[in-house]
Structure formats: C-alpha cells, structure tokens
Structure 1
Amino acid sequence: MSRGDLMKIDDRASEAEAEPEARVRRRIAVTLWVVGVVAIAAFLASFWVTFWADAGLTPFGVLGFVVTAFGVALAAGIYVLQKQASATEARIQRARHRRLERQLAAVEQALNDAQESRTGERLSASQSAQAGEILTELRNVRPGLVLWVDDNPDWVRNERRVLDGVGNRSVLVRSTEEAVDLLDAENRFDLVITDMQRRDELRAGYDLLEAIRLRTESLPVVLYSSSDDPDHRRQWLMAGGTESTYEPLGLFDAIAQALDRPAFI
C-alpha cells in the first residue's frame, strides 16, 4: 500500500471519526438558535407584559438577563466543542497509529520474504534492527518514482511491495528497450533499478547503464543481481553505476541514499 493510499484511508477514517463531533456541533447550533429566539422574544414581550413591569423588571433588565443567558449558553457550547474536538483528534491519532503499525508490519513481512527468497534465510535479529532503520529512513525521504527493469517480475515482487509500502511508486519493465523508451518519453524517474542478465543478454545491465549515461549523469542506477562478488560491484561503479548489491537490505539502503537528494531536472 502506498503513502497516497494510506492518506486516502486516513482521510476517510478521519471523516468517520469526526462525525460525532459534527452531530454535537449541530445540536449546539440548534440550542443557541433556540436560546437566541427565546431571548429576543422575551425582550420584545417585556414591553407588553405588565406584571414584569409591576415587578420592576424593565425591558433593558430583561435584555441584560437574556444576553447573559445567551453568553453562558455560548460559552458552554464552545467548551463542549473543544472537549469533543480534543477527544476526536485523540481517536483519529490512535487509529492512524494502529494503521501505520499494521502497514509497517506488512512491509517488514515483505522484506523478510524478499530476504528469504534471495538468500534462503530470514532476517536475523541484527538485520531486523537494521531493516527497521532503513525503512524509517525510506519513509522520511521524499517519495520517489522508480523505474525497475527485470525480465522476471516474480523475482522482485516482494521488493516492490516493500518499496511501494513505504510511499514510493515503481514502474516495472522487462527489457532495456522498454526502459529507454520510458526514459525518453518522460524524464521524471528518480531512480533506476536493474538486473544484469535477461534471457540470452548476459550484460543487459551494462547496456542499460550505458544508454542512461549517454542521456544523463545524475540519475542513480542501482544493480540488483544475484552476484555478491566484490569485483562485480567495483566494475559496476567504475562503469558509472550508483550501487550494486544482491541482498534486499543493501538494495533498500541504496534506494534510501539515492532518494535522499534533490529531485532531478
């Protein structure tokens, strides 16, 4: 679930949570109208009601009384509204916190699934702590639009769930040609993630990197492959790549660093 989706859910939930406050506001408004009408009627009636005059109650005395009554009713209404608003805001914040916890739990589960799919092992305790820090950083950087190039979408399904779950949006294509066409059509991508081999193209990642560097030097390009060879990473960086990794934690750390910078023009 993206950050935009979460905001829409929060908005709908906020409206539902605020409905009791709206009902109280309407009741207070009706009460004030009634008090006001009665006050005006009492003031006007005081000119004709003789026993009020016999009791020494002048029209202006009645006016002072009804103004005081209206002021007390208004102050009581404002107090009730403030208490209601505070209670409603507290409920909304608690509901948002619970939704955020559920969303983060789903993202962490997807990250664990990605780690197990890639390495055959779940995240260790230390890795889980590191993952929490990385996910927090990803939530705090500006949302990004990511071009993901991989000829097997199932291999990166969990990784994309994590990326979208922390508020970003990814567009997946299966070939260098599709990626270049998108880059030429709209230069709004903040990051490119690519695999290395696609079918019989053993250096497809380098081909894409070269095509991108002919167009721009500033767009980050992260290689997400099955190799953990340090020489492969060094060669990728020397060719102009931004980062090379084979583990999900390394990937999302690279994504956080790439997105934590000004937008490209």
Structure 2
Amino acid sequence: MNASLNADPAELAKFSDLAHRWWDPESEFRPLHQINPLRLNWIQESIVLQGKDVVDIGCGGGILSDSMARRGANVLGVDLSTKALKVAQLHALEAQTPNIAYREVSAEELAQERPASFDVVTCMEMLEHVPDPASIVRACATLVKPSGWVFFSTLNRNAKSFLFAIVGAEYLLKLLPRGTHSYDKLLRPSELARFVRGAGLSMEHSRGLEYNPLTRRYWLSADTSVNYMLATRRPAEGSHVS
C-alpha cells in the first residue's frame, strides 16, 4: 500500500473480513440497512437525485450507492477495500442496478483526476475510520461542482457517544462488531465544521440520528450528541463562504 495513502490498513482489513456479509440485513451491517432510508431521504430533502452525477466516498459494499442509483442518479462508488467493492459490484449485477459504477481509488486521487465533476458528494460513516479526515473533506470539496452538495455523517466524540456508540452498540447490544469504532478517531461537530469551512464549503444544516434499543428503531432528530449528519455546499462561482 502507498505509504502516503490516507487509509488505515487495519480498518481496511476489518471491513474486508466482513465484506461477504454486507448485503445480509441481519448481519453486522444491519444498522446500515436500517439507517439507509433515513439518510437517503435526508439527502433528497436538499437535492433531487434524479439525473444527478453523484460520487459516494467510502462506499463499502454499496448500500447507499445502490439506493441513490435507484433514485435515478448516475453514481460512482469509491473505496479502498477490494473485497467490499467486489461485493458491491456483484450486488449491482445481481440486482440489475442502473447507472452505477465502482472504483478502487482514494478520494484525494479522484479529486485530482476529476475536480468539480459531481453534483453531489456523499461521505457517510467514513471520516471516523481514516488517519486524516480533513484531507477527505478537502477532496470532497474539490470533487463537487459549484453550487453542488456534499453530505457527511459521522460520530460525535463525547462521554455519551462513547457510552452509546461503543460500549452500548458494540459490547452490550452487539449491533456492531467490537472494535468498529475507536473513540480517539471520532469527530465533534465543531471539528468537522472547521474542516468544512477550511475546505471552502458552506454549512447548510445538520441532523442527528437516534436509536431506541427496545423498539430497535432509528429516527432523525435535532440531537447531534451521538450520530450526526452535515449538509454542506460549495458556493456558486464568484461567491465566497461567510
């Protein structure tokens, strides 16, 4: 692996080992299947995906990529996990998903290759798994067209998030495999907002994602203390981020 690549080999190996279970809705990826309709609809509140060019950074097995393509977008999913991408490609073939392609390429490399090429950039559940999240944010800002949208989701870093997302989700409820998240890699909204503004994007709105372990139901709310999503936008040509 390229030593300068913005990826953690242990993180890639962790998800590669589980890749064959990505599309099993009762597997370790059950939470992703459950939250996907929520985040898909949240994206569509800002921009109609039909006919748009979209890149999904850190697409994994393609759960979000596939659903955006089924909403009519032309989707490119990119990841650095070879196994996960093969699973994504196989699923697209089996499900006959239209207008979708996958590539093994870093966000930074793609940004150099295709600046200002996409109407929408999504980077969901990915920033907390890389050594340099600010670099990913900058790449996303480079990839999006002027006036285009960039959507992020990640985990907050605080005592409640540690209790709910790591102790609760990984050890008590076993919603996720142990070791899925490292507390020191989690990002406070203020930190992500600083990366966003530093990359020249404007903050538009945010949403929190909550979970009830008794009903096993997720919903969107204004509470960003654990899981949260940020909608950001690249200014139109000639305008500046305030």
Choose between structure 1 and 2: higher strand proportion: 2
Q: Give the TM-score taking structure 2 as reference length.
A: 0.33
Higher radius of gyration, 1 or 2: 1
Choose between structure 1 and 2: higher helix proportion: 1
